[in-house]
Amino acid sequence: MPDGSDNAIRLRNLGRDYGERPALEGIELDLPEGSSLAVLGPNGSGKSTLLRVLATLLRPSRGEVEVLGCSLPNDSWKLRGRIGYLGHEPLLYEDLTGRENLEFQARLYGIPAGLAAERIESDLGTLGMGRRANYRVSDYSAGMKQRIAICRAVLHRPALLLLDEPESNLDPEGREAARSLIGHPGQLAWGSEAPVTRVAVSHEPEKAREESDRVLELAIGGVVA
C-alpha cells in the first residue's frame, strides 16, 4: 500500500446538493496515489454523485476538492485527459461499431494512430471483443457494451480510474476479463510505471473490502466510516 506522502484525492467538507436536497455532506478524504478506494452505501447515498464530482462532471456545492493536484472546479480542464470514468451509461455512439467508438476516443485524447491501434487491439482482445468489435453498438447486448465501455475508460491510460460498478451486466468470464484490464491494488494490466489510483463503487461490501486499500462508506446525505 502507498505510504500516503502524495495524495491523488483530497476532500474537505465536500457537499453536493440537488436543489434543496443534499446528496453529499461533509465528506473528508485523503487518498494516496496508487491506492484503491471502495465506495459503499445504499441506493441514494451519493456514491455515483461522488464519482461524478471527481470526474469533473458535477460541480461541488461547497467544500474543497483536489484531484491529482488540481483544485475543482477551477482546474477541471487540466484533469480530463488524466481521468478514466466508467459510469452507469456506457457513453458509446450506438451507430458506430465498438472499434470505431474506440478510434474516435483515441483521436479525442490525441493518441497517435499507431499507438491507438495497438492499444485498441490489445484491450479488445483482453475483453474478448476482438471479433465482435466490428458490429454496431446498437446490436450489442448490455454485457458487450460494458466491455467496450471499459476499453474506452482505460484507452488513454489514465492516472485515476473512477469506476461505478464496473462488473455490471458481465458474466463470470467477463468479470474476470475486466479485472485483468482495470486491475486491482498494486497491479494494472497495461504495465503502467506511474501509480494508478482507483475509486470503485460496489454493492458487494465483503468483496470490495478484500480488493481495496481503503473503504468509504456513505449513508443517505453523509459518511458512515
Mean pLDDT per 10-residue section of the chain, whose length is 225 residues:
69 93 93 93 93 96 96 91 94 97 96 96 95 96 97 94 94 89 63 76 86 90 65
The two beta strands, 160-164 and 197-201, are parallel
Residue 166: predicted pLDDT: 92
The grid coordinates listed for 214 are 481503503
Residue 4: predicted pLDDT: 42
CATH fold of 1-82+194-225 reads Rossmann fold (3.40.50)
Cβ neighbours of residue 56 under 8 Å, at least 6 residues apart? 67, 72, 73, 76, 79, 80, 83
Residue 116: predicted pLDDT: 97
Q: What residue ranges do the domains of the chain occupy?
A: 1-82+194-225
Residue 3: predicted pLDDT: 43
Residue 224: predicted pLDDT: 67
Residue 206: predicted pLDDT: 87
Tell me the angle at which helices 98-108 and 142-154 cross, rounded to the nearest 10 degrees: 20
pTM of the predicted structure, to 2 decimals? 0.91
Q: How far apart are CA 145 and CA 147, in angstroms?
A: 5
